[in-house]
Chains A and B, each alone.
Chain A
Amino acid sequence: MPVAAETFAAGVPVEIGQIQLELKKLWDASNEVMARASLINLAIYSEQPDSLGKNTAIISQLTEDHACRAIVIAADPNAKESGVDAWISAHCHVSRAGNKQVCSEQLSFSLRGKQCGLLPNIVFAQLDSDLPLYLWWQEEFRAPLDPQLWAWVDRLIYDSQTWRNFDEQMNLVETAQEEARQRIVLCDLNWGRLVQVRIALAQFFDHPVTHRHLTQIEGVEIAHAPGFRSTALLFVGWLAGQLGWEHGEDKDGSLGFRFQDEEEHTRTIEVKLREKEGEPISDCKVITESAEFRIEHRTGADLLDVFFGRTEGRKMRQVLPAGKNDPVELVQEELMRGGPHRVYLRAVSKVRDLL
């Protein structure tokens, strides 16, 4: 194989019109035992100046577990001179069976000035046919969105944690989804940050004996890292969406939620969010009338400490896998789990006015 992407170089420069031919040459030149594999088209779009190298490194890690055709796009819409450059490369990893290399292709593009408008054209021309297109949009969305592009996207990956105006951005995403006739699945990496914490909390209530606690929740306390308030709010939105809470009156810095129990009594839940250095969600406590469920994530730890028990009594401790606040892990989680993310949309709808 002439091109080793392990160096994170963009690869061999090619003419755009010759990409397929050059890719074929790339594979023909290989004498080693290797298999070209692809399950999805994964396109990454970024406008950061150093994104090509950074995203090549990300693709190299992602392809260890998720064979794909990667299309990495670095755009500079404000460049004075227009232009476009392309490169091809491959990421090869020894397969689990250990006897052959599994390789994924990467096509890299640098678009400058007016050529940035060529984005849909470039993406569509380079897709591996019949495979779904996952588009990871690393920028904020800008109106107007190009309907041509969204029509072909199967999953749109973004990170709402970096959004300055959640509502405005979400409106744009929803417009894209509408233009794609609801075909696009929205994959928010900020939601992905919550997966392990959600699993840890959900498992408390798998046993029928603990179900009743869900209708007895009186308070939720969440410690989140600076800049991750939106992550904590999505978590609250998840609880509200799944447990039928409505946002009510906020007081003394706490958020107020309410719901009607089976006897049609209105119950209130006090939600306290506080900032604390560390993991995006470093502490989460759910307090019911008689019990307490707590999840702690120490800084840098890859395990969660999980405690539960009677409010004043002995607590049982467990350790469970923790997520990592790292883009590769978050995207891997998304690629692994899939699903339509209806629960996410429900969570967003519950806290949209707070985000």
Chain B
Amino acid sequence: MSDEHRPNPLREGLSTKAVPQPCAIVIFGATGDLTHRKLVPALYNIAADGELPPAVAVIGFARRPKTDEEFRAEMEEATRNFSRQTVRDEIWDGFAKSLFYHQSEFGDEAGYKTLADRLEKLDQESGTRGNRLFYFAASPDKFETIINNLRLAGLNKAHEGAWARVILEKPFGTDLASARHLNRIVQASFTEDQTYRIDHFLGKETAQNILVLRFANAIFEPLWNTRYIDHVQITAAETLGVENRAGYYETAGALRDMVQNHLLQLLCLVGMEAPTDLSANSIRDEKVKVVRSLRRFQEDEVGNCVVRAQYIAGAIAGKPVAAYREEQGVNPKSQTETYVALRLLVDNWRWADVPIYVRVGKRLPKSGTEISVHFKKAPQVLFNRESQVIEQNVLVIRIQPDEGISLRMQAKVPGTSFRIEGVKMDFHYGTSFGKASPEAYERLLLDAMAGDATLFARRDEVEQAWAFIDTIEEAWAAKEDEPKLCTYPAGSWGPEEADELLARDGRSWRRL
């Protein structure tokens, strides 16, 4: 066996993963919010946990003039504000030495040539060994320019024995055509193996736990099908409005912003078959089958199966909030949906005739993301007589906040009469495991450095998801007023039409 493939014998029995190879991480959009709030704090936390490679260089690439020292000072402030761990001077001092700033316009070819020179120099000085990780934290309309310039500077190709990878932030396209176009652009410079499309929901501990829950517990999998499951609900609720993202949100809307990526990814984890192994491609092969099996809507079905809505003025936590159309940067006649509810069907053996209801909305009364699996009721005999209403068993997987799992079941109320009530068995991560989980970005950055693409979306997953979403967007665009854009007061659980979507099937949304 060559040294390259030989496992490190000293790693056996240690619970930490092998430290990734030394590398240079170039962040495009280094002065942006994502770098300040997530990326650099995540890298610091990885360093503090001792999991960053011994030789690493983080190069911020942006257009504003700045020295390395100024960049380090800004990043220190950001890390002190946003890191999950308290920043320790002795760790920060070492970490800060690996931070550099490279000033260039994204469209300036010369800036990439000087970047290439600088990376070569860092390889010599810092021992980063020619390994490169390019993180696209810039606005998606800059992706093409950056990728082309990376190729022109020869940065898409690594030296022999080294690697070059690219991490792309969402949104990855705005429809199937743009996603395909972007994929073509990316793959003209980087192969699929080099491409990591990030969806931070997949880095969350509870999202990863869905596979463990399903495939490491013998009691669930036999029931996980159309014979025993009545329906599934996936909810992503936010109390926030558009904040400072009005420009982007106006062109995206809830369907593109949340459903195409995060919620369909959760749906895949809930709906997929057991993979043959835990390799990235085995898992992603199974996930993509779920998206491919989603029943496509005919144009005239969209009105019945999809509800789109926008919030009007209301109140959140007792404080009045403005209507979406009154938010800064939003068109006063905006037709953008801030809420969407869908009734989906997965046409495969396991999920035949099991509706999957998905809803996502801004300015809802409570923030939370969860999946609830509603099992069929017990047969209408014994306790299920007319006088007694027996609820379904519901398994709830809480993705955020208060991550955990609960199971609702029926129990006899103490007393001489035979009264039955629903009770809840509850597992909270925070209660059972005191230690805080790493942030999603920490896990995902480490995985990308280590070359593990399991928690990243593959090209076909992204394109299949867009192909599905496009059928809805196209139906909306085909007829101006159908389906109509409903409204809901901020602080409510969405429009009545969304309740009717389930009421027609004799069901109702789960109260979070």
Residues of A within 8 A of B (CB): 35, 37, 39, 64-67, 93, 95-97, 100, 102, 195-196, 198-209, 211-212, 214, 238-239, 242-243, 303, 306, 308, 316-321, 336-339, 341-344
- Could you pull out 6 A-B pairs where Cβ atoms are within 8 angstroms? A66-B434, A95-B431, A97-B401, A203-B54, A206-B21, A208-B6
**Which residue in A37, A64, A66, A206 is a CB contact (below 8 Å) of B11?**
A206
Chain B 422-435 per-residue mask, 1 if CB under 8 angstroms from chain A, else 0: 00000010111111
Q: B19 interface residue, CB < 8 Å from A?
A: yes
**Which residue in B8, B13, B433 is a CB contact (below 8 Å) of A211?**
B8
Q: B314 interface residue, CB < 8 Å from A?
A: no
Given contacts A66-B434, A95-B431, A208-B6, contact A308 B54 (CB under 8 A): yes
Q: Give every chain B residue within 8 A of A344 (Cβ-Cβ).
A: 13
How many whole Å from A176's CB to the nearest CB in chain B? 22
Q: Give every chain A residue within 8 A of B434 (Cβ-Cβ).
A: 64-67, 93, 96, 102
Chain B 259-288 per-residue mask, 1 if CB under 8 angstroms from chain A, else 0: 000000000000000000000000000000
Task: Tell me the number of A-to-B contacts counted with CB atoms below 8 Å.
Answer: 107
**Which residue in B21, B54, B94, B402 is a CB contact (below 8 Å) of A97?**
B402
The 4 closest A-B pairs by CB, nearest first: A65-B434, A343-B13, A202-B10, A320-B50
Q: Are B49 and A321 in contact (CB under 8 A)?
A: yes
Q: Are A242 and B90 in contact (CB under 8 A)?
A: no
8 Å CB contacts to A: which residues of B52-69?
53-55
Q: Give every chain A residue within 8 A of B90 (Cβ-Cβ).
A: 303, 319
Given A93-B434, A201-B10; 14 other pairs, CB 8 A cutoff: A35-B428, A35-B431, A64-B434, A66-B434, A67-B432, A95-B428, A199-B14, A207-B21, A208-B5, A214-B10, A306-B54, A318-B54, A318-B94, A343-B12
Q: Give every chain A residue within 8 A of B435 (Cβ-Cβ).
A: 65, 336
Given contacts A214-B9, A303-B90, contact A199 B50 (CB under 8 A): yes
Query: A316 vs B13: C-alpha distance in the bound complex, in angstroms?
Result: 26
**Which residue in A35, A214, A242 is a CB contact (below 8 Å) of B12?**
A242
How many whole Å from B217's CB to the nearest CB in chain A? 14
**Which residue in A102, A205, A207 is a CB contact (below 8 Å) of B431?**
A102
Q: Are A303 and B431 in contact (CB under 8 A)?
A: no
Q: Give every chain B residue within 8 A of A96 (Cβ-Cβ).
A: 430, 434, 436
* Chain B facing A: main interface SS: loop
Q: B244 interface residue, CB < 8 Å from A?
A: no
Given contacts A95-B430, A97-B402, A303-B90, contact A337 B50 (CB under 8 A): no
Q: Which residue of A lies closest to B403 (CB)?
A: A97
Q: Are B50 and A243 in contact (CB under 8 A)?
A: no
Q: Are B13 and A341 in contact (CB under 8 A)?
A: yes
Q: Are B91 and A319 in contact (CB under 8 A)?
A: yes
**Which residue in B9, B22, B401, B431 is a CB contact (below 8 Å) of A243?**
B9
Query: A273 vs B4: C-alpha distance in the bound complex, in angstroms?
Result: 33
Q: Are B431 and A67 in contact (CB under 8 A)?
A: yes
Query: A162 vs B22: C-alpha distance in the bound complex, in angstroms?
Result: 41
Q: B223 interface residue, CB < 8 Å from A?
A: no
Q: Give every chain A residue within 8 A of B15 (Cβ-Cβ).
A: 336-339
Q: Which residue of B lies closest to A211 (CB)?
A: B3
Query: A321 vs B428: C-alpha distance in the bound complex, in angstroms?
Result: 28
**Which residue in A37, A65, A208, A342 is a CB contact (below 8 Å) of B4?**
A208
B interface, how many residues as a size bin? 35 or more
How many whole Å from A182's CB to the nearest CB in chain B? 17
Listed residue (B402, B430, B434) with the most chain A CB atoms within 10 angstroms of its CB: B434
Q: Give every chain B residue within 8 A of A205 (Cβ-Cβ).
A: 8, 10
Given contacts A199-B16, A202-B10, contact A316 B436 (CB under 8 A): no
Q: Are B127 and A316 in contact (CB under 8 A)?
A: yes
Query: A317 vs B12: C-alpha distance in the bound complex, in angstroms?
Result: 24
Query: A339 vs B127: C-alpha distance in the bound complex, in angstroms?
Result: 34
Q: Give every chain B residue within 8 A of A65 (Cβ-Cβ).
A: 433-435
Query: A149 vs B93: C-alpha distance in the bound complex, in angstroms?
Result: 52
Q: Give every chain B residue within 8 A of A337 (Cβ-Cβ).
A: 15
Q: B411 interface residue, CB < 8 Å from A?
A: no
Query: A203 vs B2: C-alpha distance in the bound complex, in angstroms?
Result: 19
How many whole Å from B303's CB to the nearest CB in chain A? 40
Q: B503 interface residue, CB < 8 Å from A?
A: no
Q: Which residue of A lies closest to B48 (CB)?
A: A321
Q: Which residue of B lies closest to A338 (CB)?
A: B15
Q: Are B50 and A200 in contact (CB under 8 A)?
A: yes
Q: Give every chain A residue within 8 A of B54 (Cβ-Cβ).
A: 203-204, 306, 308, 316, 318
Q: Give every chain B residue within 8 A of A196 (Cβ-Cβ).
A: 50
**Which residue in B8, B94, B127 is a CB contact (below 8 Å) of A206?**
B8
How many whole Å from A316's CB to the nearest CB in chain B? 6
Q: Give every chain A residue within 8 A of B129 (Cβ-Cβ).
A: 207, 209
Q: B322 interface residue, CB < 8 Å from A?
A: no
How many whole Å from B454's CB to the nearest CB in chain A? 19
Query: A200 vs B4: C-alpha distance in the bound complex, in angstroms?
Result: 20
Listed residue (A205, A243, A339) with the most chain B CB atoms within 10 angstroms of its CB: A205
Q: Give every chain A residue within 8 A of B430 (Cβ-Cβ).
A: 95-97, 102
Q: Are A207 and B22 in contact (CB under 8 A)?
A: yes
How many whole Å from B91's CB to the nearest CB in chain A? 6
Given contacts A35-B431, A319-B90, contact A212 B3 (CB under 8 A): yes
Q: B18 interface residue, CB < 8 Å from A?
A: yes
Query: A66 vs B54: C-alpha distance in the bound complex, in angstroms?
Result: 32
Q: Give every chain B residue within 8 A of A203 (Cβ-Cβ).
A: 18-19, 50, 54
Listed residue (B55, B127, B428) with the most chain A CB atoms within 10 angstroms of its CB: B428
Q: Which residue of A lies closest to B18 (CB)?
A: A206
Query: A318 vs B50: C-alpha distance in the bound complex, in angstroms?
Result: 9
Query: A199 vs B14: C-alpha distance in the bound complex, in angstroms?
Result: 7
Q: Which residue of A lies closest to B21 (CB)?
A: A207
How many whole Å from B297's CB to the nearest CB in chain A? 39
Q: Which residue of A lies closest to B54 (CB)?
A: A318
Query: A298 vs B447: C-alpha distance in the bound complex, in angstroms?
Result: 32
Q: Give every chain A residue within 8 A of B22 (Cβ-Cβ).
A: 207
Q: Which residue of A lies closest to B401 (CB)?
A: A97
How many whole Å from A294's CB to the nearest CB in chain B? 13
Q: Are A202 and B433 in contact (CB under 8 A)?
A: no
Query: A208 vs B436: C-alpha distance in the bound complex, in angstroms?
Result: 32
Query: A338 vs B13: C-alpha distance in the bound complex, in angstroms?
Result: 10
Q: Give every chain B residue within 8 A of A37 (Cβ-Cβ).
A: 431-432
Q: Give every chain B residue within 8 A of A207 (Cβ-Cβ).
A: 21-22, 53, 129
Listed residue (B9, B10, B16) with the most chain A CB atoms within 10 angstroms of its CB: B10
Q: Which residue of B lies closest to A203 (CB)?
A: B19
Q: Give every chain A residue within 8 A of B11 (Cβ-Cβ).
A: 202, 206
Q: Are A39 and B432 in contact (CB under 8 A)?
A: yes
How many whole Å from A299's CB to the nearest CB in chain B? 15
Query: A18 vs B29: C-alpha distance in the bound complex, in angstroms?
Result: 65
Query: A35 vs B61: C-alpha distance in the bound complex, in angstroms?
Result: 48
Q: Give every chain B residue within 8 A of A35 (Cβ-Cβ).
A: 428, 431
Given contacts A67-B432, A96-B430, A321-B49, contact A198 B10 (CB under 8 A): yes
Query: A34 vs B19: C-alpha distance in the bound complex, in angstroms?
Result: 40
Q: Give every chain B residue within 8 A of A341 (Cβ-Cβ).
A: 13
